């Protein structure tokens, strides 16, 4: 398995621009998570999906952030407009909960996207 | 609120020696899962080991083992025969199915393995 794939690996943009981060989860996984990592705040959960449906977006910082999962193999995290304080590493992770409700719960992380907003 | 605390921001160990990283958590739930993740300089988050709260036996994965003390809400990670490749940030994480699939991560411990 190729693991969780994220693109781009690095993104540098100017304040006010739109940024789109992309994620392909592990095939067959039914949960997808978006995290943000900064030195000041550590790892923060932004939003997660189950079977393509957003379940908890309470971690999304503000309306400038939006996430979609149009199908089981693709998700995007969009920031519009971007601000310097959005500079961070953004991780996508996926996990599988087997049928019957018993699952291992481990989350498998992608390599992350380092976003720099100048 | 559920919290995870890692009281050691930084640690170092000589190659081939053993080191223990501390983690404590706070929850009122009885069903939960605990994890240790490693983040090397490449920044990739790698699962090291997991522990189910209902299991009394401590989990082990090769050179990695945990000391799970449920009453004390403690979940320490022991790394035996430390190798240079173990140099990384180590994050303790906690998850309660009753609260959804959210992981709560600790602030991390930066471990340096010295030659």
Residues of B in contact with A54 (CB under 8 A): none
Residues of B in contact with A112 (CB under 8 A): 43-45
Segment A104-118, tens digit of pLDDT? 688 999 999 999 999
Q: Which helix (H) or strand (E) holds B69?
A: strand B64-69
Segment B58-78, tens digit of pLDDT? 999 999 999 999 999 999 999
> pLDDT at residue A102 above 80?
no
> For A107, which of B103, B107, B108 is closest by C-beta distance?
B103
Chain A contact for B64, CB < 8 A? no
> pLDDT at residue A100 above 50?
no
Q: What is the pLDDT of residue B22?
A: 98
Residue B16 and residue B82 in contact, taking contact as beta carbons nearer than 8 Å: yes
Q: What is the pLDDT of residue A98?
A: 60
Residue A112 and residue B43 in contact, taking contact as beta carbons nearer than 8 Å: yes
Q: What is the pLDDT of residue A1?
A: 64
> For A42, which of B43, B100, B107 is closest by C-beta distance?
B107
> pLDDT at residue A22 above 60?
yes
Q: What is the mean pLDDT of chain B?
A: 93
Residue B69 vs residues A95, B19, B57, B63, B100: alpha-carbon distances, Å: 26, 18, 10, 20, 24
């Amino acid at each position: 398995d190729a693991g969780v794939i994220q693109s781009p690996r690095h993104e540098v943009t100017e304040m006010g621009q739109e940024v789109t981060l992309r994620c392909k989860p592990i095939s067959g996984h039914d949960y997808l998570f978006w995290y943000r990592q900064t030195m000041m705040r550590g790892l923060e959960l932004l939003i997660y999906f189950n079977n393509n449906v957003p379940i908890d977006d309470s971690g999304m910082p503000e309306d400038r952030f939006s996430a979609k999962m149009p199908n089981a193999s693709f998700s995007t995290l969009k920031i519009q407009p971007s601000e310097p304080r959005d500079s961070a590493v953004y991780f996508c992770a996926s996990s599988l909960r087997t049928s019957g409700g018993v699952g291992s719960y481990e989350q498998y992380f992608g390599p992350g996207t380092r976003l720099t907003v100048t | 609120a559920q919290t995870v605390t890692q009281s050691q921001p930084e640690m170092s160990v000589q190659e081939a020696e053993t080191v223990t990283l501390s983690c404590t958590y706070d929850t009122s739930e009885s069903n939960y899962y605990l994890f240790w993740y490693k983040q090397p300089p490449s920044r990739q988050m790698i699962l090291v080991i997991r522990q189910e709260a209902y299991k009394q036996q401590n989990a082990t994965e090769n050179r990695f083992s945990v000391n799970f003390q449920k009453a004390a809400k403690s979940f320490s990670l022991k790394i035996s025969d430390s190798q240079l490749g173990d140099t990384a940030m180590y994050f303790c994480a906690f998850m309660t199915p009753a609260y959804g699939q959210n992981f709560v991560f600790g602030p991390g411990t930066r471990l340096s393995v010295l030659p």
